[in-house]
A and B are shown apart, each in its own frame.
Chain A
Amino acid sequence: QLQLQESGPGLVKPSETLSLTCTVSGGSISSSSYYWAWIRQPPGKEREWVGSIYYSGTTYYNPSLKSRLTISVDTSKNQFSLKLSSVTAADTAFYYCARLIPAAWRFDPWGQGTLVTVSS
């Protein structure tokens, strides 16, 4: 059974870089059948697709975040990561990682999510 788990600091200072890692277990991140994604939801606001990556390293970013965003993959560790630079309070959110399945471009399964707060 595939499982995903987010990890990283829960508190980041304004203007710094938010870094999160998603560890995939129960399956290989190198599968050619899937993509891997980050989704976030600020408290009380709408859920937002952040971006996606293929095991080869090809990335797809939300244009609203593209200038500050880097998503990378480490197949040797079965992990993929998110880095968001120059954060502000608006980046405070629950961050989820998920597998993205091309058939219907659906997210399944998801990690439990981690709350990242941007505050000094």
Chain B
Amino acid sequence: DIQMTQSPSSLSASVGDRVTITCRASQNISTYLNWYQQKPGKAPKLLIYATFSLQSGVPSTFSGSGSGTDFTLTISCLQPEDFASYYCQQSFNTPYTFGQGTRLDLK
């Protein structure tokens, strides 16, 4: 199975900050990398797919980059509604695997 390692596991930031979350795959996954956001008690929400593509309705303050084994999710200007947990997922092959998550909270 492909192992996905996210860092950091938690992050404190302020409204207006720029934050970056990284995800590393244990082998080359090309650009088969998706990002999700989840708030407590809510359904996970797709943010970015295929490394770069922004899901419809997701603000342009979110962006993704990377290829091969190293990927990043960047939030360019944190909004109050962005404080949540974030997960990466590789879709290069099955079993699809997820990172352990990054919890982003208010400093």
Which A residues lie at the B interface, using CB under 8 A?
A: 46-49, 60, 62-64, 96, 98, 103-113
B87 A47 Cβ-Cβ under 8 A: yes
Q: A49-B95, A103-B49 are in contact. List 18 more A-B contacts (CB 8 A).
A: A46-B98, A46-B100, A46-B101, A48-B97, A49-B96, A96-B43, A96-B44, A104-B34, A104-B49, A105-B34, A105-B91, A105-B96, A106-B49, A108-B49, A110-B44, A110-B45, A112-B42, A113-B43
Q: Can you list 6 A-B pairs, Cβ within 8 angstroms, ordered by A?
A: A47-B101, A64-B95, A103-B50, A104-B32, A106-B46, A107-B89
Residues of B within 8 A of A109 (CB): 43, 45-46
Q: What's the dominant secondary structure at chain B's contact region? A: loop
Q: Does B55 have its Cβ within 8 Å of any Cβ on chain A? A: yes
Residues of A within 8 A of B44 (CB): 96, 98, 107, 110
Which B residues lie at the A interface, using CB under 8 A?
A: 32, 34, 36, 41-46, 49-50, 53, 55, 87, 89, 91, 94-101
Residues of B within 8 A of A105 (CB): 32, 34, 91, 96
Report the Cα distance A47→B36, complex, angstroms.
12
